[in-house]
Amino acid sequence: MNLSRKWLGEFVDISATDREYDEIMTIAGQKVETTTRLDAEIRNVRVGRVLSIVRHENSDHMWVCMLDVGEAEPVQIVTGAQNVRQGDLVPVAMHNSWLAGGKHITKGKLRGVESNGMLCSIQELGLTPNDFPDACTDGIWILNDEGAQVGQDINQVMGTDDSVVEFEITNNRSDCYSLIGLARETAAAFNVPLRLHEPVVKGGGPGVLPELLDVETPADDLCRRYTARMVRNVKIAPSPKWMRQRLRAAGIRPINNIVDITNYVMVEYGQPMHAFDYRYVRGGKIIVRRAGEDKTLTTLDGTVRNLTPDMLVIADETKPVGLAGVMGGENSEIKADTADVVFESANFDGTSIRKTALALGMRTDASAKFEKNIDPMLTLPAVNRACELVELLGAGEVVDGVIDILNEIPEPFELPLEPEKINRLLGTDIPEADMIDYLRREQIEVRDGMIQVPSWRPDLRRMADIAEEVARFYGYNEIPTTLMRGLTTRGGYSESQKLEALAGNAARAMGYSEIITYSFVSPTGLDRIRVPADDPRRNQIRILNPLGEDTSVMRTAILPSMLDILARNFAHHNKEAKLYEIGKIYLPVEGRELPEEPKRLVLGSYGTGDFYAIKGAVEEILTAVNAQKPVFEAVTDDPSYHPGRCAAVIIGGKRIGLVGQVHPLAAKNYEIDGDVYAAELDFTELMTVLAPEKTFKPLPKFPPTSRDLAVVCREEIEAGRLEACITAAGGRLLRSVELFDIYRGAGILPGYKSAAFSLVFRAEDRTLTDGDIEPAMDQILNALEKELGAVRR
């Protein structure tokens, strides 16, 4: 909502500067977005009188003028315009002045004659013929009839010696989408009187209203009130300068007196109005109904609108003549020869208007106001104000009487003023008398302890609402600041949150950086990681109104999100990337409205490391969260991973995740060259396989004994199986088994490999001897040979 400070002056007297005004209004609850000085653009342009005008000696179309601009010496200016006469008042852009569009004027010579500025047209001053209908459009703007004074700043003539304040109006305050509403707020914030004006209509126009016009509202659920008056023998003309200037400041283009009046009243009262040309209202009948069978309507802007049956229209006997609350129809538009006018001042259902405007993509000033559900009590004063202005402008003759259909009018509402409860809620000690005074400043009366809530404040319905009004004018910043009392609560993180923090720390310690990716993804991500058509991950939650296909489903796998980011980094020529995310996936559950949202940890890298690097990272993360010891089993059939370089992470028999090289075809789908590694862990499941809390175990008293063991076995025997076999056969003295080398080549038959382990033996109660260790080594070797065909090298 834009407010002209000059226009505001009609209702309240305040002397605050723009900055002070913004500050005080903002603090009182009407937040000012920006304030714009209207005279900021046109600078150093003055009214001048042409003292003399002679032909330029070197030109057959230019003139040399001497101008009185209110200074001691006249100013000489060369002009090419042909409409300037001696004695005329004209806008003079002085040396070092600024015109519309940032045009800078300085003195210079035109064909050898000094010119100390420029004479201006309305266009050069940023005006249109709508603003000054009498102004010359192809020459200098002659100000003789504009009441201008020599030497005056041109902004005063243009009416741009004004500031426009843009307010952010909150949803609950539809009353503030009007000048009167903001004047009321201003009066309350500054504690100054509010000058309101009761419209007075003389009337007496020819005819009897009920005989001329009949209004029906079959769609009474969408039309709370319909008020109409008629004006006859209308003389369409431009509206007066003061009205045009105020509309311009409000950001509305002046059209003609009747249309301008409807807009003027809309700004002033916040009540949208419409004017119909009576001759096109067939049968003198206005019917407020749903569009029903009517399929189209051409609106004022000349666009054919496709109607749906539910849209509310204003119709005559035969056809729609307006889109209720949004825009009038072209077929009943006010024209230069319009003689009789119907003023509509109605109150429509906000939701219906909003939906219509949205469906047709035409949010107008009117629909924007209606969608906030404005005060139904406004229609009558607004239509009377319009008629009063008609009479004031001499634009026509107002017919006596008003058509006023009241379908749904709010009951008067009162509620008790409860000072004690208000103070208890606010934590203040404000006297009752002060509270009553704050409300009085807002034009809200308290009678016998009961607050008489005005019709324009449907947001005031209970104590808390009144508390806010009291707080606003007491001052939010005057309320003390205290800390919460009462029972203390134990704050903290949940177990899973703590686990996430530990996992994240471990991932970063190993060089993986954290990413945040969208929860909604493209369904093609699953194709790119080569997920089969019948995979359960294909059962994704679809967003019915997505921004685009790329963000149309809730992810059921986190790997594509990671690969997207790796791919983007690759495309940005980043040599390497190591990334992780802990994020949700969204799994639909049969028979439930909401999906499960388990968390996944995903690691991803390219340009660095290998399978064992990312496997090591997974192992460290599992250690960091104190998971039980994992087992890694080769997975050869996951289509997203390299069939020879992928392992399932198994803990306590549960498959917790996967780690491996991303299948080269999947990497290719993301256009990443080179090996890509990834790991996915089910974080929610991981919570269920944690090791018991750590406790201290005494340090060993006796030294360990180490033995290295190298065995030769067939290539396909995995190191993990050798290790498991050694561990199982080693007996209770064997404390650890660690693989330290795998060798293939000279001395080893093709198809075989040598694996070397470091074994550590230790007893709790004595130092071990060869006699203790040899039997264990024999058992190990026996088992290796028998079970895996592995023999000592």
Partner 1 sequence: MKEQLERIRASALEALAQAKETSDLEALRVRILGKKGELTAVLKTMGKLSAEERPVMGQMANSVRAAIEEHLEQRRAELAAAALEAKLRAERLDVTVPGTAPELGHRHPMNIALDEVKDIAVGMGFRILEGPEVELAEYNFTKLNTEEGHPARDWSDTFYIRDDSSVLLRTQTSPMQIRAMEAIKTPPIRVLAPGRVFRKDEVDATHSPMFHQIEGLVIDKGVTMADLKGTLETFVKGLYGEDCVVRFRPHHFPFTEPSCELDVQCFKCHGEGCPTCKGEGWIELLGAGMVHPKVLETCGIDPEVYSGFAFGIGLERMAMRRFQISDLRLIFENDVRFLAQF
What is the C-alpha to C-alpha distance for residues 144 and 148, in angstroms, rounded to an integer?
Answer: 7
Contact with partner 1 (CB under 8 A): which of 427, 431, 449, 775? 427
Size of the site for partner 1 (CB under 8 A): 87
Q: Are 766 and 702 in contact (CB under 8 A)?
A: yes
Least separation in angstroms between CB 187 and partner 1 = 17
Least separation in angstroms between CB 544 and partner 1 = 5
- Closer to partner 1 at the Cβ: 510 or 788? 510
Residues 762-781 that bind partner 1 (CB under 8 A): none
- Closer to partner 1 at the Cβ: 551 or 628? 551
- Closer to partner 1 at the Cβ: 358 or 719? 358
Contact with partner 1 (CB under 8 A): which of 102, 481, 696, 746? 481
x/- letters, 437..476, toward partner 1 (CB under 8 A): -------------------------xxxx-xx--xx---x
Contact with partner 1 (CB under 8 A): which of 450, 543, 719, 749? 543
- Closer to partner 1 at the Cβ: 132 or 580? 580
Least separation in angstroms between CB 14 and partner 1 = 19
Amino acid occupying residue 418 = E
What is the C-alpha to C-alpha distance for residues 239 and 260, in angstroms, rounded to an integer?
Answer: 7
What is the C-alpha to C-alpha distance for residues 677 and 609, in angstroms, rounded to an integer?
Answer: 8
- Extract the tokens encoding 230: 């008629």
For 73, residues 6+ apart whose C-beta sits below 8 A from its C-beta are none
The residues with which 742 forms a beta bridge, in sequence order, are: 755
Residues 12-41 that bind partner 1 (CB under 8 A): 26-29, 31, 34
- Closer to partner 1 at the Cβ: 576 or 774? 576
- Closer to partner 1 at the Cβ: 66 or 415? 415
- Closer to partner 1 at the Cβ: 394 or 546? 546
- 3-state DSSP of 229-258: EEEECCCCCCCCHHHHHHHHHCCCCCCCHH
Integer angstrom CA distances of residue 1 from 6, 244, 458, 562: 15, 18, 20, 45
429 lines the binding site for partner 1 (CB under 8 A): no
Least separation in angstroms between CB 683 and partner 1 = 12
What is the C-alpha to C-alpha distance for residues 175 and 185, in angstroms, rounded to an integer?
Answer: 10
Least separation in angstroms between CB 590 and partner 1 = 15
Least separation in angstroms between CB 266 and partner 1 = 21
Residues 235-264 that bind partner 1 (CB under 8 A): none
Amino acid occupying residue 323 = L
Chain-centroid distance of CA 644 in Å reads 49
- Closer to partner 1 at the Cβ: 63 or 348? 348
Least separation in angstroms between CB 557 and partner 1 = 16
Residues 489-528 that bind partner 1 (CB under 8 A): 489-494, 497, 504, 507-520
Residues 552-591 that bind partner 1 (CB under 8 A): 554, 565, 568-569, 572, 574, 576-580, 584, 586
Count of residues in the chain: 793
- Closer to partner 1 at the Cβ: 336 or 516? 516
Provide the 10 A C-beta neighbour count for residue 395.
22
What is the C-alpha to C-alpha distance for residues 221 and 348, in angstroms, rounded to an integer?
Answer: 9
Least separation in angstroms between CB 543 and partner 1 = 5
Chain-centroid distance of CA 263 in Å reads 29
For CA atoms 779, 782, 786, 792, give the dihedral sign.
positive
Residues 283-342 that bind partner 1 (CB under 8 A): none
Residues 332-351 that bind partner 1 (CB under 8 A): 350-351
- Residue 2, exposed/middle/buried by CB under 10 A (0-12, 13-18, 19+)? middle
Least separation in angstroms between CB 638 and partner 1 = 25
Least separation in angstroms between CB 774 and partner 1 = 41
- The SS3 assignment for 285 reads strand
Give ∠ CA 242-248-251 in degrees, rounded to 5: 150
- Closer to partner 1 at the Cβ: 152 or 561? 561
For 214, residues 6+ apart whose C-beta sits below 8 A from its C-beta are 283, 284, 285, 286
Residue that is written with structure tokens 């004017």 in the block = 275
What is the C-alpha to C-alpha distance for residues 588 and 687, in angstroms, rounded to an integer?
Answer: 21
Least separation in angstroms between CB 570 and partner 1 = 10
Q: Are 722 and 790 in contact (CB under 8 A)?
A: yes
Least separation in angstroms between CB 580 and partner 1 = 7
Residues 132-171 that bind partner 1 (CB under 8 A): 170-171
